Structures are given as C-alpha cells and as structure tokens.
Structure 1
Amino acid sequence: MNAYISSDINMVKELDPKRHELALLQADWLEKGGTIEVLAGPSFKPAPVRYEPPPTKKTPRHEKIAATDTPYMDKITRRDMEREERVAQRANDKANHLERIRKLSETMTYAQAIEQTGLTKRQLQRLAVEGGFCFKGAEHGSNPRKARLTEAQCAAYAERLKSFKEVGLTRNQAMGQLGVTFKTFNKLLERFAIDYPKSTRGPQPAFFPKTPKQ
C-alpha cells in the first residue's frame, strides 16, 4: 500500500519530533555495533521487444496468375484450343454424315436407307428436313404381301396349303405361314378347289332355366 505524503508544511513540521527520535535510535544502534541493511527497492524490468514482421503488399488474383503462373495460363489456352478442335471435328463429322445420307436419298427409298445405314425412319426424316432433300418414293408392289403371284408360286402355295390342312393348322395359321393376305388366301382356295375347314366354335355353355321361387 502506498504511503500518503502530504504537501501541507504544518503537517510535515509536526512529524519532526518523530524523525528526530528515529535518528537518535539509529545512532544509538550503530554505536552498539548494530548494522542497518538497506534493502533494494523494486526494480523495473521492461517487457521484451515484440517482433513485428514487415507488412506485405497484397497482389490481386489475376495479377498474381499473370505474373507468377505462366504455365497455368498456357494450360487454359491449350484446353480452350482442344475444345474448339472437338467442336469443329463434330461439325465436320455431322456435315459428312449428312452428305452421305443425301447421296443415298438419290437412289434409295426410306426402307432401303434404313437397311443400309441402320438408322430409324424418324432419324432419316430429320436429316432430310435439315439437309433439304427427299428420298425416292416406294415403287408400287414393293410390299411382298401385295405383290402379284406367278403361276409357279400359286402352285407351290396350293401344295403347302394342302399340307397345312393335313397337319391341322387353322386358316389364320396357314395365312401366317404363307405370308399372304386374306383375299389372296381365298383366291388360292377357290382356284385349286381346296376345301380348307374353317374354325368351329367350342361347345356352348349349358343353360339352366331359372325356376320360380316357391
């Protein structure tokens, strides 16, 4: 606890007798061979110097990349160039594919182009609209089920119909095996006088009349 020191002169003079008495006691003590040890007061030790690193100047991101990361910029440029090359290659492949289909359309119908390319009719139609061309129209009688049969084919079909009759095939099954229409099938039966049985209906369900309740 710090001692209070007054600046009033009168209060200072009032303490003179006590100081004089204390001085006499110290002199008497020293005469008797005593010693007075003067203790060292508190010493001030300054705090250690704190190391402060020098401030650094912040560099914007784009300036840092441009100044110190040249390979990174080369990588971005190379990637953009490769992307443009892929886009150009796809466009070139598409143009070549369209030109190939255009040449096929000059001599082929949709059915022939489907067999040749493996594409669907919808895909071929979309390419035709995109390229501004048309496929050849299908010729009359191109459907084998509607084509006119020759005499040899009619005779062969008649023999097959007789064998189908013997094994018990129905009329629909026989038409499916021959690949002919219903009209052509009936003409063959009439021309070669083949009595091909028709399918018969199964047994009718038993009918029990209701009896009135008693």
Structure 2
Amino acid sequence: MNYISNDLNMVKALDPDRHALALKMEAFLSKGGTIEVIGICRSLFSPIPFNSEVFSGSPNVAQPKRDLSAKIKKSAKGEAEEAAIAEKLKAYHDKGVVAAAKDLHISTRRANHIAAQYGIKFACRVSLAARQEDLALVPQIRALIIEGLTQDQMCARLHIGRTTLKRVAGQNGLKFRSQADHSKDLVLVERIKAIRDIGCTRAACARQLDINPKVLLRLIAEHEIDFPVRTPGVA
C-alpha cells in the first residue's frame, strides 16, 4: 500500500521514482495521449472534492456540481403507508390541513407533503364551511374564558389544537386571562352585584370600585349581570 509520509528522508528517497514517472508522462503526451482528471468526491449525494483537490494533471479543472437528481426511493411499505394517509386526507378538504394532521397524528408538514404528492388540496380557512366551524367555537371559547380555564384545558374540552384556539380567539376579539386576573374578575362581579342591589348607577359603581367603565361593561356582559341602565331623574 502506498501512503504519503511526513518523513523528509523518505520523501527525498522517492525523487528518482517521481522523475522517472514524469518522463514517462511526457513521452505519453508527446505521442498524442491524453490524461483524464477525475475529481475525488465524498459520495453521490455530495460530490465535493476533499480540500478542493483533484488528481494531478490539470490545475484548472472545473469542480463537479452536486447531483440534485439523486433521490432515495421509498420502500414498498412506506409508499403503502403514504397512500393510506392520502385516502384519509381527502376527507379533510373542507376542514383543512391542521385538523387533518391532528386527527391522523402526523405533522402538518408531512400532511402537506403527502397531499402535494397525491394532488390533494385543502380548502382555505376563509371558505364558508371553515368560517362556520370557527364561528361555532366562539361562544364556547367565551364561556370557557369566563369559567377561568387555561388554554390547555380549553383545547382538551373543545378537542382542538392551540393554534386553532388562538386563531379563533384573535379573529373574534376574545382575550385570554391568567388565573390571577380571573380571580380578580370574580371578586369584582360579586361587588358589582352588591352595589347594584343598593340602587347605585353604573357610573357610580365604576367610581366606587375605581375601575374603568369599559371594564364594568365587560364584566356585566360576560357574566350576564342584570344591571339595567338608569336614566337620571327617573325613579
């Protein structure tokens, strides 16, 4: 086996052999011979020469380009599995890729990849069916916010993902509150009812509780407090 040595004495000892080889190459080329330069590549998928080196003979040889056409073929089992998933994805045309990925226990990236392979297109979330589905969630999410559930608990109760929960809430003006804020709201609700019962107006109630009138209106609406608007001067 030939190898490259770092020993200077050994390198010098090979000088006669290198000289003889150079003479043979010169004689070969003078007779019309050609020398093919082959790049030293890592693999089929990454044909980049080690240290940008090639076999000696032509220092200006262009570097080989990466072969992007080489692909790993799926196994028969893998193809059958994707075909089965593709059949199931067809039923989610109106529901969308997020719902499909959740129900089939796969990532949305894989669901989109398989759908593209089999020509399956999902309906946009602005479609009528998708919008109606979202609107049906609005009162349920609002009720759970008032109940004081966390986002994870809401998702478990409604059987939806957090992405869907945040999207529907954001599009319909619903705001999530922490457990601490929810507890404060419950205390305010009880005080609002007590102040209402002694005959105070809404404006007086907001002043007495030192809260913004908009906060008072929100609590009245969310907790369905019977606090009628009183007209000044009317008994």
User: What TM bracket, shorter-length normalisation?
Assistant: under 0.3
Superposition TM-score, scaled by structure 1 size: 0.26
Please, what TM-score do these two structures have when normalized by structure 2? Answer: 0.25
